[in-house]
Every structure is written in C-alpha cells, then in structure tokens.
C-alpha cells in the first residue's frame, strides 16, 4: 500500500516514511492512497468475532507490504491485550469502554501500536530513535507507557509546568529508563512548538533519527479504526446500523471511525460531540472553518481550537461541506450540561461517565431525539472517571481508584526542568 499527502503535492511514500516523517514536504498529512476494502466474509463473520482476530485482519492490509504477517499478529496481540467492553445503558444506547489500558484513556490504543511499529521500523539501525511529544495531559502518559522499556528508542515528553493535574504528572514522570519527562516553563502551545522544532532540526537529524508521537501520526489512527468493527461485533444486532458518537478534540478518533466506514463498515451517522471548543459544530452549521484559541473546560482533553485532523476528516468524507455533513452530525455542550448528564445517567442507570464520555452521550441523546432514529447508538467512553475525580465532585459519589492509578500514585517522580527555550532543549537532546 502506498501513502500520500492529502495535499497531493508530494511523492507517494511507504508507511515507514509516513510514520516517521508525519508531515509531507507539501505540508499535508499522510493518508493511504486508497483505503483497503475488507472482504464480504470478514463482515459476515464479524458478530462475536475475537478482538485479536479483528485487529489482525484490519491492520494487515495497511502493513503487509512492509511488515511480515507474524509481526503484525504479534503487534496487534500486544496492543489489544486489555478488554474493550460494550455496555448497554438504555434500550438503544450503548457505550464502548476504551479506557482499560495502562493509562486509562483510549490513547493507549494508538500509542501502543505506534510505538511497536516504530521500534520495528528502527530495528537493525545503530542510531537511537528519539521520539518527542508535547502533551496537555493524556497523550504524554500513553506514549510513555507505549514506549517504556522498548529497545533503541528514547522518548522525550514535554509537559507545561504546573498546568497538568498532579495525577497526570505522576503518569508522565514515574517511568524512568528510556522515558524522559521534561517540565517546560510555558504553555502547552510552547511545548508543541518546541516539539515541532525538534523533529525538523537538521543538526539533530545528522546524529540520530527523530519522530513525533502526536496525533498527526498515521500510526495512531490505523489501530483506532479497529474498535469500530469490534463494537459491531459485540453489538451483534444483525441488520442494525448503529450511530457512533465520538467525543472530539483533535478529531483523530472520529477520523479513524470514518476510515472504518471507508473499509466497508456499515453504520448510521457519525456524531461529532464537542465541548465549548466547537469549531467543527460551527463548520457543520455555517460551512465556515474558523480555528481559534481553545478555552478551558472540564473535558480538557478536547480543548482544541484548531483540530489537526480536520483536513483528513474532510478528505475522507469526500472533500466538501455537503458530503461531510451527510455522514457526520455535530453538536456542542457546556460544562454544566456535562455535569448534569453525568448526574442524570448515574441516577437512572448506576453508570458513571467521565466528562469526555458524557459529551459523547449528550451528542447521541440529542441526535436520537432530533432525528427520531430507531437505530441503536454507541458512544465512546474515552477515559476512566477516576482520572477526573476533582471535576466530578458532587455528581459522582465515591469513585474507586482502579489499580493502574493507585500504583502510579505511589511511584517516585523524576523530571528535567527546562525554560521555554529551543537552545536548551536542543542541548539536552544532543547530549543525552
């Protein structure tokens, strides 16, 4: 399979190049030149099919030109070694829980797959691969967990000093080994700017390979498309065309869902649920895409003012406003609506949503009401509520800390403090 810049102004490349370079010389993001269609037999055998088998069959066509099948099987088995259960909350409303991985957010899926693929591509090379990632919270820990202990790779996680939660900081700074946590005296945008400079710097490239691990990386999207097939397999309602509701930030998750659709998965509508950072909902309403500064909300992993995967999403849908809005419906919700939904659903069903999942729930509820659709809906639960115990106070009752989070709280932190300054980061990367 060949991979192409969505701007179509650059040479097609291999998956290895798409995954290590991230951005094509024409400035575009990489996508497969065309999506593989899965065979009819895959879909007829889907109900009840094993997650590991689904993962292998979906990933294989993307990788098979460059990665042997037994390695693809090994990677998919290791990535999906935790459950992704589908829980029914109401007659027609289900949630797909994506948060049972090591850092308790869905980003584990993409980060684990990407890390193993990069290590495979870097095998036999005598230079270390230095992976740089900027984080506003969840990405850094998932990427650190994904790469921890893997050979030939060092990971530098840049986080904004004092602007992530103490629990998130623990999840980034307690790995040791090949993971280096860097507290930057600046904002998330500063971290992102430094990370971008690091992966494109020529001096650094002379001595070792560098790569980015944020969500523009195609290797994070391929595995995320897998759980849409898995959801249909678990739903096991032949003939149903379920709607999927996704809590949106950088739009990686919903782009992966649209990739699954492009591979032949039959679904209802894709619901792009956002918090007050509503550039996508506004685009659907007005056909104008107006990026802006993000505002802070309690669903903070979705606080994105210029979602980096928007061009991919638009492309996948057909390239214009009308074709996008035929498959996708978007709506935005405030913090108080979010907390109200958490409270209401918990009282009615006993189920506790996290703020991100609650936004997706609200999107689905509103869509089912306005469209009068009788099809089932599945909303994605992207994080464990215990990660957001502070903002859920008053609506959640006592939240039990899961083992993964209890363990991390006991570990010792270690990180490097850095001024918001490129030369200091460059020195650090050169010398370590």
Residues in the site for ligand PLP, rule: CB under 6 A? 105, 107, 138, 215, 247-253, 301-302, 356, 382-383
- The DSSP call for residue 377 is E
Q: How far is the CB of 274 from ligand PLP (least distance, A)?
A: 9
CA distance 341 to 397: 14
Asked whether 96 and 380 are in contact (CB, 8 A), the reply is yes
Q: Which residue has the tokens 């998919």?
A: 76
| Nearer CB in complex with ligand PLP: 101/376 | 101
From residue 256, alpha-carbon distances to 184, 317, 339 in Å are 31, 12, 27
Q: How far is the CB of 106 from ligand PLP (least distance, A)?
A: 6
| Nearer CB in complex with ligand PLP: 18/105 | 105
Q: How far is the CB of 254 from ligand PLP (least distance, A)?
A: 6
CA distance 307 to 110: 17
Q: How far is the CB of 257 from ligand PLP (least distance, A)?
A: 10
CA distance 254 to 314: 11
Q: How far is the CB of 251 from ligand PLP (least distance, A)?
A: 5
| Nearer CB in complex with ligand PLP: 217/382 | 382
From residue 45, alpha-carbon distances to 1, 48, 206, 230 in Å are 25, 8, 49, 12
Neighbours of 8 (CB within 10 A): 12
| Nearer CB in complex with ligand PLP: 269/356 | 356
| Nearer CB in complex with ligand PLP: 247/268 | 247
| Nearer CB in complex with ligand PLP: 160/252 | 252
Strand-pair category, 270-274 with 243-247:
parallel
Q: How far is the CB of 249 from ligand PLP (least distance, A)?
A: 3
Cβ-proximal residues to 158 (8 Å cutoff; 6+ apart), any chain: 132, 133, 134, 135, 140, 182, 184, 191, 194, 195, 425
Q: How far is the CB of 367 from ligand PLP (least distance, A)?
A: 18
Q: How far is the CB of 5 from ligand PLP (least distance, A)?
A: 21
Q: How far is the CB of 224 from ligand PLP (least distance, A)?
A: 8
CA distance 275 to 331: 8
Helix, coil or strand: residue 125: coil
Q: How far is the CB of 119 from ligand PLP (least distance, A)?
A: 23
| Nearer CB in complex with ligand PLP: 42/329 | 329
What is 294-356 written as a DSSP string?
A: ----SSGGG--SS-TTHHHHHHHHTSSHHHHHHHEEEEE--HHHHHHHHHHHHHHHSPPPPHH
| Nearer CB in complex with ligand PLP: 121/388 | 388
| Nearer CB in complex with ligand PLP: 32/247 | 247
Closest CA to 381 of 403, 405, 355: 355
Radius of gyration for the alpha carbons in the chain, expressed in angstroms and rounded: 21
For 85-128, strand residue ranges (E) read 86-90, 93-97
| Nearer CB in complex with ligand PLP: 377/385 | 385
Asked whether 327 and 269 are in contact (CB, 8 A), the reply is yes
Cβ-proximal residues to 396 (8 Å cutoff; 6+ apart), any chain: 342, 346, 352, 385, 389
């Amino acid at each position: 399979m060949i991979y192409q810049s969505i701007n179509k102004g650059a040479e097609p490349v291999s998956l290895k190049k798409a995954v290590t370079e991230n951005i094509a010389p024409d400035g575009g993001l990489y996508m497969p030149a065309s999506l593989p269609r899965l065979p009819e037999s895959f879909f007829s055998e889907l109900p009840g099919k094993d997650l590991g088998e689904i993962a292998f069959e979906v990933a294989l066509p993307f990788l098979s030109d460059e990665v042997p099948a037994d390695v693809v099987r090994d990677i998919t088995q290791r990535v999906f070694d935790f459950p992704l259960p589908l829980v029914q909350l109401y007659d027609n409303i289900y949630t797909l829980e994506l948060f049972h991985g090591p850092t308790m957010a869905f980003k584990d899926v993409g980060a684990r797959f990407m890390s193993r693929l990069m290590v495979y591509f870097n095998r036999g090379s005598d230079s270390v691969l230095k992976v740089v990632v900027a984080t506003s919270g969840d990405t850094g820990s998932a990427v650190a967990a994904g790469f921890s202990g893997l050979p030939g790779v060092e990971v530098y996680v840049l986080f904004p000093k004092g602007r992530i939660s103490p629990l998130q900081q623990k999840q980034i700074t307690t790995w040791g080994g090949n993971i280096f946590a860097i507290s930057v005296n600046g904002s998330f945008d500063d971290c992102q700017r430094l990370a971008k400079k690091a992966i494109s710097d020529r001096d650094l490239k002379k001595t070792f390979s560098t790569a980015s691990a944020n969500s523009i990386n195609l290797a994070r999207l391929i595995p995320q498309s897998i759980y849409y097939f898995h959801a249909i397999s678990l739903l096991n309602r032949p003939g149903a065309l379920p709607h999927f509701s996704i809590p949106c930030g950088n739009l990686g998750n919903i782009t992966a869902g649209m990739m699954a659709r492009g591979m032949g998965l039959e679904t209802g509508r894709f619901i792009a649920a956002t918090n007050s950072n509503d550039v996508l909902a506004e685009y659907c309403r007005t056909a104008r895409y107006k990026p802006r500064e993000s505002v802070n909300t309690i669903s903070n992993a979705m606080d994105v003012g210029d979602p980096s995967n928007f061009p991919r999403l638009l492309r996948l849908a057909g390239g214009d406003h009308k074709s996008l809005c035929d498959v996708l419906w978007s709506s935005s919700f405030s913090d108080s609506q979010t907390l109200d939904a958490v409270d209401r659903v918990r009282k009615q069903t006993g189920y506790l949503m996290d703020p991100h999942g609650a936004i997706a729930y609200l999107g689905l509820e509103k869509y089912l009401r306005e469209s009068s659709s009788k099809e089932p809906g599945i909303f994605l639960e992207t994080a464990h509520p215990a990660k957001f115990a502070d903002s859920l106070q008053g609506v959640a009752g006592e939240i039990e800390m899961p083992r993964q989070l209890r363990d991390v709280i006991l570990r010792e932190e270690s990180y490097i403090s850095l001024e918001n300054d490129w030369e200091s980061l460059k020195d650090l990367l050169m010398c370590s």
